[in-house]
Structure formats: C-alpha cells, structure tokens
Amino acid sequence: MVQGQPMKDDSGSPATFGQNLDELERIVRRLETDTHLPLEEALDLYERGLHLSKQCRERLTSARQRLTEIDASQEDADNLDDEPGDDGS
C-alpha cells in the first residue's frame, strides 16, 4: 500500500467509507486485544489504521462541505421565493 492513495476493496475499486471504517475498527480491536502481537506487525497495523483514519476524516470533511453547499443553495432558493413581486402581482 502506498501512503496517500485511496484504499481499494477486493475488486480493486476504491473502498467505501463504511469499508474503511470497518477495517479501522478491526485494527483497533486487534491492537487492543492481541497481547502477543509481534512488534513489527503491531506497527504495520497502527500505520494502516492511521491511514484509514485519515481517509475517513477526509471523506467526512468532503461530505460536510457538500452538505454546507446544499444548505446554502437551498437557502438561496428559499430567499428567491420570498422576494416581493414573485406572487404574480
């Protein structure tokens, strides 16, 4: 895996937010419960978890921005509907 590239699912398609989150949760569980995990494997899992966390944060930020834009455009449309003279008079 190359840092900075989107995660891929088994079909080679970019992984969904849910897939990344599920994998991140599995990594966290394993790091918390497997007390005999070799150090190098633990470090690799930790690094992968950080990358997954970054991917999830970026997707959430993008979704939040999109919602803000949708709300703003809806507000603009509502304001146009409320302007005087739009009632046909």
Q: What is the pLDDT of residues 28-72, one digit of tens each?
A: 999 999 999 999 999 999 999 999 999 999 999 999 999 999 999
Asked whether the predicted pLDDT for residue 9 surpasses 50, the reply is yes
DSSP character string of the chain: --TTSPPB-TTSSBPPHHHHHHHHHHHHHHHHH-TT--HHHHHHHHHHHHHHHHHHHHHHHHHHHHHHHHHHHHHHHHHHHTSTTTT--
